[in-house]
Every structure is written in structure tokens, then in C-alpha cells.
Structure 1
Amino acid sequence: MTTSVRLRIILGENNSQRVILQDGLPTSVADLSKEIAKQCSLQGNFRLQFMDPDFDNDFMNLMSTSEIQDKSTLKVVLLVTSSDRDGLPIPHVETSQNESACSSLAPSLLSCDTLVLSSPSTSANSESSASLAPVLSSSVKSSAWPAEFTVPRFTYDAELKLEQGNAAFKTQGTFLSPDPKLKMSILDGLAEEIVKYKLYPSDGEYGQVAEALIKKHPCLKERGSVTGYSGWKASLKYKLGNYRTKLRNIGCTEVTVNSIKHKPDGISSPAYRVKKPRKAEVNYCPSHPQGETDETLEAVRQTLLNEVKKKNNEKNVRMLMDKSFSIRRHEVIQEPLIADFKTRWPALFRTEEVCAEFERISTVPLVSTFFAKMDAYIAKLMKIFANRGGVAGRRIKTLLLPTTQTDAIEVKRECITKSLCVYLNEDPSSLILEFMDTDGASAQEAIQKAVMGIYVIRYEGTSIEDSPADVGVVLEGEKVLQDLCSVPYATAMLLGLIYGLNLNYLPELRYTFEAFQKLFLELDTNKLTNKVQALKTKLFSDVFE
């Protein structure tokens, strides 16, 4: 019998609540968050923190439910964006000299991912903001694919049969051969749970679901199968294919975009250039909000063109960008020219909106996540890079030399970024274009020829330790972002634009971008190439070579 678990939930100053989990601790943090939100009547996005005894009971972000037990204390931290934080105090942030310059050039460093504890005053502000904020489409998902897939409860009769089958397996070791009705109930239940996260799971994710099924219900394990679930995995693929057909017939946008009528003339294969998430996008092609059409959202876009010209109008711009998210995604997956798209959606090419769009697509805060992971890995990365030999090792030592002359975090981040490219046998000059302010026409010509990258213009006679004259992002030969505070920040913005504009990674930098995505942003970490997997193994090992 499952033992219930009691938790103390801190909701704010002088505000806590007891939560009782009758079925024990969930296997994933996402499921725990849902249960806490339900019992505490919480709305909006939040993060859970647990009291870590290894660090004098300071609160740390909860990454796994194995960190907690009965009578543990958790703290709820609301994730507040700039659109709903008016009137909220901005927490003090320790900054270096370079970072303090960033605050004036790029306010989104503070506004994108501000964390505050809920309190009576902040709740009031949140409620007033929520009343103004538009409701996104019901098809917009709120969480990414879970690290551990939770098998849902099936229909009552199916659960009864499985309970009897598991009991027989435990006592006699006999396997259950599900009848067609039971198998259909199981597959239907799994399919409904899968589409909460994505409509096009990968082969590994199908395997993850099938493995979770036989782990929860061992009587369903297949005899004669190496894994014990290969048949369930194949059945799930067929079930999801049929499920997508049903969704296409009722007009689900993420599926209808791949129907034959949306293919180029003369193409009769549904498999031709399927438009689906490829970089762990949670909301790739959402349906329009209820009551909205292409025409009404086009009117919103026209309004947005006027609102973006006004000063100190970030709140209204954010509301309109939220509301028009679906039509913008429908446009961008058709791969328009960057210049044309910038003309239609100029608000997207602001740093704060790059952050917001990335979070709409992936549900992950861009800047805070990227830098938190990079900073956590800096010490080990420098040791790993120092052990690299040959030509690459000598080049890395040259790139890391500025880190021995200054403790500035921005310098370390930039050196690590360049060294990462070299370590993965790629050229950092393909990512970062560096010029002097005296280069003039030659620099402009090189930028116009660049397909994708970051440009840096430094003052004559200065080095990496000094503030640059200009840093920006270039796409298809056009400067889409300028006057950024540093190369690392521009790198984060480039990643945000790649997601926001549905761009492919540069082939010559595929491993570097994979490391950015899967190691620093922790998106789609289940499947890594050999190079990135080897680097990840060393990051989590005490032996680097």
C-alpha cells in the first residue's frame, strides 16, 4: 500500500500550507508541481525549491523528487516576466563592471526572468496583470517532454484487469496477454498523455513510454523481446499515426500544416519536408486562441506595428505579442526571408521579446538558464580544455589566456564559447566575426556576406577585456540586433532568434550549437552526437582524459 506524503509549502512571507499526497511522491517534478498547484490553488508558472541540508538548509531548485521525502519543506518561486511585473521590486543582482554596462544596454537581462516570492502585495499585482494579459491558445503547451514519463491511469475496467495481471505476475510469474479491448484502452490512454507534450515523438521517446508502461505494469512485458517492450513501441507509433489523422480531420494546426494540400505543387508524399519540432520546441505550431481567426489576428499585427513605435510601451507590446503568437508561428514555419519577416514583426527583434518568444516556444527562460548552466560548467570546462593536446590544444590555450588576466565573468564566458568551438573541431570565427572600428567598409562587407553569426566591433588598441564598440547578431547579411552588451549575451540572443525564426543551425557549427542547446539550455538531452556526449561525460566525471 502506498504511503501518503506530507509536505510544507512556503507560498510567501508568513504564508505556508500543508499538502498531502495520498498516492505518495510523484515520479517527476512536473507532476508534483501540478498537484501542489491544485491543492494550493496556484496559477501561472512557478518553480519549486527544496531545503538542501548539504548547504545549511538553503533553498535550491528542485530537479528531482528523489531530493525530498515525507515532511520536507518546499518553496514556491513565481516566474514573473516583464509583462506582469509592473510595481514589483527587482531583486539585487551582483554584477561585474561589464555586466553593469549591460543593464543600460539590455534591460532584458533583468526583465526576462525575474524571480520573486509570492506575497499579498505581489499577488495583487499579478492578478491585475493577469486580467489584462490575453489568454493564449488552449493548444499552447506549458511543459516540455518529461525526464521520466508517467503512465496515466486507464479506464476502470482496464485498471482492474491490469491489477489482476500484476498480482498473478508477482505470485506466479505469469505474463498477461491483453485482449484487443484492453490493448486499445492502454494505447488510447498513452496516446492522450503523449500528445499533452508533443504530436511527433522521437523513436527514443516512444521507447521511453513503452519502457515506463512495462515498469509500472510488469505483467505486460513481452516474452521473446530483447527489451520486453518492442511490440508496445511499434503499436504506439501506429496509434499516434492514427491519432494525428483524427486531429488533422478536426483541424489541429500542428498536423494540418503537413497535409498534402500544404505541400508544394507536384508533391504527393505526406513525408516530404514534414514541419515538426526538431530542437525540442514545445509549442511549434499552436492553434489560434478561441474566437480568433487569421483576419482578427492580422488586425492585432497591424495594431502592434503602431504600438511598437511608442516609447515606454513594453507592456502593451508584450500583450499583443502573446495574443498573436499563433499566427506568427504559422508564418515563420513557412521560412520567410528575414528582412521581410522583420518588416512584418519588428517587435520580435527586441532583446526582451527574443527572450519572451523563446519561452513561449520552449517554456524555458533563455538568459537565466543559458548563463546559469554555462557558469556552473566553467571551472570543469577550463580543466577539460587544458587537457586537450595538439594544434587544437595550443589554440585553446591562446583563447583562454585572457581568463588569467581578469576575473570578469563576461570575459570567461566569451573565452569558453570560443574554446568550445575549437574543442569540438569547429572554427569560432564562423560564429563570432571580430573587427576593429577602423575596418569600416571591409567589416560591413563581411557582415553582409554572413549567413548567421555574431559580430563584434572593438576600438583600436583595445582587447577582449575592454568593452566593445558594438556587438550584434547578423542573419542573412542583415544586422537584426545591435548594441548588445557582450558576446555571451549576443550568443544567447542568437539562440533565441534561431528558435523564434525557426532557423536551422549552421552545418559548420552543428556541434557547438548542439552543446548550447543540450548542455546549457538542457533541451532534448536524451539524444546526443558522439562528440557532445563525450564532452558531457567528462563534465560529469572527475577524470577528464
Structure 2
Amino acid sequence: MCYKPLFPLCDMFMFYIFRKMSSPAKLRIILGERNLQKLILPDGIPASICELKELIKKQCGIERSFRLQYVDADFGNEFTNLDSISDVLDKSTLRVIFTQETSHLNQSPPPSSSATATSLDDSASGSSVDTDILSSPESTSSRSCWPLVFHIPRFSYETELQLYKANSAFKETGTLLNPNVKLKSAILDGLMEAIVQFKVYLSDAEVSEVAEALVKAHPCLKEPGSVSGFGGWKTSLKYKLGNYRSKQVGCPEVTVNSLKHKADDRRSPAYGIKKPKKAEVNYCPPYPTGESAESLEQIRVKLLSEVKIRNNEDKVAEMMGKTFALRRLEVVHDAPMVADFKARWPGLLSVREVNAEFKRITTVQLQSKFFHQLDALSEKLTRVFARKGGVLGKRIKTIMVPMTQVESIDISRECILRALAVYLNEDPEKLIKDYRSDDLGIEQEMAETVFGIYLIRHEGADPDDDPEDVGITLEGVKVLSGLRNIPLAIVMLFGLVYALNIDYPPDLKYTFEALQKIIMAMEGNRLSKKVQTLKTLLA
């Protein structure tokens, strides 16, 4: 006799859930650019998306709200918003998309028709856009980082209809579309709405990425005679971005980076302001919604007393985030001395806030990415250093000796960073100053240090003993102290270069270029010959 359940669909569903819960599973979680983690689920895939989110928050240390996307095989393995837990299988890849906090959303006005179209497209295309357009006065002082994969937005109804017909014709006969001026303008306008939600200054590689994504999404737009098939679209996008920036009169980022009449017109807002050269993204953001220079100045004054209160880091972090636009405008426009800046913004001078400020400026995680990339490249760097000959090779071998004597990740990192400077024919002793605690001239030497790291050891201490103090000195001012080791100090110094808009010192420019473009992979396509050679050897 065959057993027939009274509720077969319900029983099948419960059996499916039980089967998934009973077998262990692993998921790959994409948290950001080059930031992937493995999620171990001993009890299998959970029964709901909410439970899955809680597990991701717990194992990945996430506190912000987010949504999830999964790789959809039905649509060419593109990312699609996750709406059903049944789409999550063992060894699936999920992407975390951070969303705005409710408080920000409540302050935003009702979206216009164009904004509505954009938000609808976010869910349709799997875009990671969760911020307002830059030119909007409601935009906040932070912005999403450039997506791993740029998704083409949904255009207007008329434009989509024409592209649908042209794509169908291309599939049947291979006929390419030669868009008229109106259609091409509509496509470029739609692309601009998506682009400026991330940044208004794109690198050549990022423009190529957008143009390539366009012809992949709409093959009928490929250009005959073009090697890549999208060269003309790339050129058009560059002109469109230039025209867009010329119209953004009220956007501080565009104003301070404008090069028109910059060299000879002292009345220009951009006069005397250097062009960013270190892959800064959020160079000079607008004030947060409902805030002005006066209201942010009041918060800054309150910060002076808040930083003196113990166990008050969260409150300080919140206020520092809110005043970022005021602080950044001050740094870029006024270029204050370090002593003056420290007096006005003491809350920035901590490990936590240097990390946070770097993320606000570049949209890139500082400390975690730096050490992750350094550790990943350490074996290759060691092999490259070992092949170096001559005087520099002998010096590198001496620097690397502690790695073979002491098993310590901090010592290994320090040796590699010191050897990196020597390999690039620069002197690490110009960056790191070693002192003994009984030296009488420590304070005087620090007061004369323009840019560097100090390390103070006890008299008679061994090289592998913990130092008495490690810190950073800029323009004769001790800006950070109590750092645990040299690698952490180098990371913090790198972050302060961005936070204070400082140029790399001439006698260490190749070392810091390598840290930026090889270790941090920021603007890594434009390198000096010396750093390019090193990058080639590491490939």
C-alpha cells in the first residue's frame, strides 16, 4: 500500500528544509572589493533569509544593515537580489550590499520619476547602489565604493523598446544598430545617473568597464571596426562626464578639482589646491542633509570635550563622521599646519578614527586590507628580495635575518616593509627612527622630524622585545603614540597622509607608491618604472 500524506506539499517543504538544515554547508561571502570570506554553516542552510543574515553578521562581524544577492544561473551567472532561501545552495556565492540607515532614509524627500526609475533598476539589475546622486543636496558625506561589476541601468521605456528590437535583430541577422543622436543621448544620460552615484572622477579603466558592460548588455551597440567594440562609447562617456562636472556648480568635490583658470586666477575657488594624485574618491563631499558650516562647527566644538571622556569612542566616532565634510573642506582649502589641525580635531588622532577617515576619503578599508594584501604578497616579495644582488642585496639580507630567528607576524611584516624600501633604493631609517629610553635628545630630534615614525626601546632591550613606545611624528608634532609595532605605525602613517592631504616625502616616494599601488591596489594601473618593475616580478 502506498502511503499518501494528507498535505503532500507541506510535507515536501518540511522535508526539504530538514534536509538542508541537517547537512553542513559552506558559502562564499563577498563583502567588498577583494574582501571575501568563507561562511561555515555546521547545521546547513538556515530556514530563512533573516536567519542567514544573522549568521553572516555574527561570523563576518557586520553591524550595518544589508541585503543579499546571489549568482543566478538563469541570467548568465549575474548577481540578483536574494528573495528566497531556496536559491541558496551549498558552496553558493553571496554578495553583501550595505544599505542606508533608516534615519537617513527618513530625511530624504520623495523620489522624482528619474530617481524612482533608478531605484527600480537597482533591484532589477543587481546594482550595489544605495546612495543618492552626488549633485543632490540631500546627499550625505559618504559614498559607495566602485562596484565589483558595473550593472547597466534600465533606461526609459522608449529607449528600452528600441534596444529590445535592435538586440532581437542582432541575434537573428547580426545587424548592428547605429543609434541616432536622440537615442545615444538617452543611453548616455541613463549611464550617467548610475555612474555619479559612485563618483564623478573615473579612471580610464573604470570608463572602459562601463562601456564594455554596455555592449555586453546590449550587443547591438557594438561598433564595427573597433578593436574592443566599445571605443566610441568610451570616448562619449568621457565627454559626458566632463560636461556633467562643468554643470555641478554647487558640488564641492567638483569645485576644488576644477582646473579651469586654476593657475592664474586667484579668485577661483580651486586656486592653489593641488589635484588629487593618490586615488582619492570622496575628495571633498557636500555637507550632510540639514547641516551647515555653522552647525557642524558647533559639533566640532563639542567634540573637544567629548574626546576627553573615557570609554566614549562610539559617541566620538558618530560626531567625527558627521563633521567629515567640514573637516575635509578645511584640510583641502586651508591646508592647516599639523599642530593647528591637532588642536582643532584631536578626535581624529586614534587608530580607530584614522581607519574610519581613510574609508570616508577612499571608500577602501585601510588596516585590514593592508595587512591582508601584505601577508598575501610576503612570500613573493621574499623571493624577489632574495634575488637582489650588490650592496642593496646584502643590506636586504641583514634586514631579513630576524624573520628566521623569531616566529612573529609583526616582525615578519616589519622586515618585509623595511626591505621594500631598500629594494626601491630608499633608506628606511629616514622613515623609522630608533631611540633608547635614556637618550637625552629624543624630544629635540622629534621636534625636528617632519615626517616619520619613532620607536623607543628600553636600555639593553633585545631587538625582538616589545618597544616602550611606537608613534608618528609630523611637522615636529607627535600625532599618534602607543602603537604596538612598526607595521601598524606604517599603516597609520599611510592613512594620515590621506586624512591630512600630505604629499609623499621625496626621499620615500617610491616606497609609498608601492604601498598604495601594489599593497593597497589603489590606482595600480599607473606606476613609475621602478614600481612597475617590482609589480611585474610579483605577478
Q: TM-score, normalized by length of structure 1?
A: 0.72
Aligned-partner SS, 2:478: strand
Structure ranking higher on relative contact order (CA contacts 8 Å, 6+ apart): 1
Q: Any conservation in 2 of the 1:452–1:475 contact (CA below 8 Å)?
A: yes
Unaligned runs of 5+ in 2: 1-26, 28-44, 59-66, 99-136
The 5 Å alignment of 1:59-70 reads: none
Distance 2:75 2:397 in 1: 48
Q: Secondary structure at the match of 2:163?
A: helix
Deviates more, 1:11-20 or 1:280-289: 11-20
Distance 2:71 2:402 in 1: 52
Alignment of 1:396 with 2:396, yes or no, is yes
Match of 2:217 in 1: 216
Using the alignment, how far apart are the partners of 2:373 and 2:96 within structure 1? 19
- The alpha carbon displacement at 1:261 in A equals 11
**Structure 1 stretch 14-23 or stretch 409-418: which is displaced more?**
14-23
Alpha-carbon displacement from aligned partner over 1:213-269 (angstroms, at most 9, x marks no partner): 233333323334444333222221221122123322xx2222233469996883478
Q: Which moved more, 1:528-537 or 1:458-467?
A: 528-537
User: Offset at 1:478?
Assistant: 1.6
Aligned residues: 444
Matches within 5 A, 1:321-340: 321-334=320-333, 335-340=335-340
Native 8 Å contact 1:27 1:148 kept in 2 = no
| Identity in percent | 50
Q: Does 1:203 align with 2:204?
A: yes
Q: Are 1:535 and 2:534 an aligned pair?
A: yes
The question of whether the paired residues in 2 share the 8 Å contact of 1:387 and 1:393 is answered with yes
Distance in 2, Cα, partners of 1:182 & 1:369: 42
Quick one: which amino acid aligns to residue 366 of structure 1? L
Q: Which moved more, 1:11-20 or 1:461-470?
A: 11-20
Q: What residue identity is the alignment partner of 2:54?
A: G
Deviation at 1:159, TM superposition (A): 2.2
Q: 1:12 aligns with which of 32, 54, 77?
A: 54
Taking a change above 3 Å as real, the CA distance of residues 145 and 533 of structure 1, as seen in their structure-2 partners, is farther
Counterparts in 2 of 1:458 and 1:487: CA distance versus 1, 3 Å: same
Matched with 1:180 is 181
Q: Which amino acid aligns with 1:504?
A: D
The 2-side partners of 1:218 and 1:77 are apart by: 29
Q: Distance in 1 between matches of 2:272 and 2:202?
A: 16
Q: Residues 166 and 177 of structure 2 are in contact (CA less than 8 Å); yes or no, is this contact kept in structure 1?
A: yes
CA positional deviation for 1:292 = 0.6
Instruction: Tell me, in whole angstroms, the C-alpha distance in 2 between the residues paired with 1:358 and 1:20.
Output: 29
Task: Flag the 1:505–1:345 CA change in 2: closer, same or farther, 3 A.
Answer: same
Secondary structure of 2:282's aligned partner? coil
Q: Which residue of structure 1 aligns with residue 433 of structure 2? A: 433
**Cα distance change of structure 1 residues 261 and 307 upon mapping to structure 2, 3 Å threshold:** farther
2:141–2:285 CA contact under 8 A, matched in 1: yes
Residues 490, 20 of structure 1: alpha-carbon distance in 2 compared, 3 angstrom cutoff: closer
> Counterpart of 1:252?
251
| Contact 1:355/1:365, CA 8 A, preserved across alignment | yes
Runs of at least 5 residues in structure 1 that lack an aligned partner in the other structure: 1-6, 42-67, 80-135, 541-545
Q: Which residue of structure 1 lines up, in the alignment, with residue 371 of structure 2?
A: 371
For 2:243 and 2:322, the matched residues in 1 are separated by 31
Contact 2:262–2:270 (Cα < 8 Å) also in 1: no
Q: CA RMSD in A?
A: 3.5
Letter in 2 for 1:535: L
Q: Distance in 1 between matches of 2:177 and 2:449?
A: 60
Pair 424,474 (structure 1): closer, same or farther in 2 beyond 3 Å: same
Q: Quote the offset at 1:481 in angstroms.
A: 0.8
Match of 1:476 in 2: 475
- Offset, 1:331: 0.8
Distance 2:397 2:256 in 1: 49
Give CA-to-partner distance per residue, 1:378-427, whole Å, 9 cap, x none.
22222221122222211110100111110011111110110011122222
Instruction: Give the 3-state SS of the residue equivalent to 2:453 in structure 1.
Output: strand
> Where in structure 2 are the equivalents of 1:89-128 lying within 5 Å?
none
Matches within 5 A, 1:10-409: 10-12=52-54, 24=74, 35-36=81-82, 39=83, 72-73=91-92, 138-248=139-249, 251-258=250-257, 266-267=265-266, 277-334=276-333, 335-409=335-409
Instruction: Check 1:412–1:497 CA distance in 2 against 1; reply closer, same or farther (3 A cut).
Output: same
The alpha-carbon deviation at position 491 of structure 1 amounts to 0.7
Question: Contact 2:215/2:222 (CA < 8 Å) preserved in 1?
Answer: yes
Q: Per-residue deviation at 1:147?
A: 4.1
CA–CA distance in 2 between the matches of 1:264 and 1:14?
Answer: 51
TM-aligned CA distance change 1:285 to 1:25, over 3 Å: farther
**Could you tell me how far apart the structure 2 residues matched to 1:15 and 1:325 are?**
27
- The answer to whether the Cα contact below 8 Å between 2:153 and 2:191 also exists between their aligned partners in 1 is yes
Supply the distance in 2 between the matched residues of 1:26 and 1:457 (Cα, whole angstroms): 57
Deviates more, 1:381-390 or 1:253-262: 253-262
Change (3 A) 1:397 1:26: farther
For 2:160, the aligned partner's letter is E
Provide the secondary structure at the position in 2 that maps to 1:433: strand
Mapped partners of 1:15, 1:312: distance in 2: 24
Rounded Cα–Cα distance in structure 1 between residues aligned with 2:503 and 2:417: 19
CA distance in 1, matches of 2:57, 2:84: 11
User: Does the CA contact (< 8 Å) of 1:11 and 1:75 recur in 2?
Assistant: no
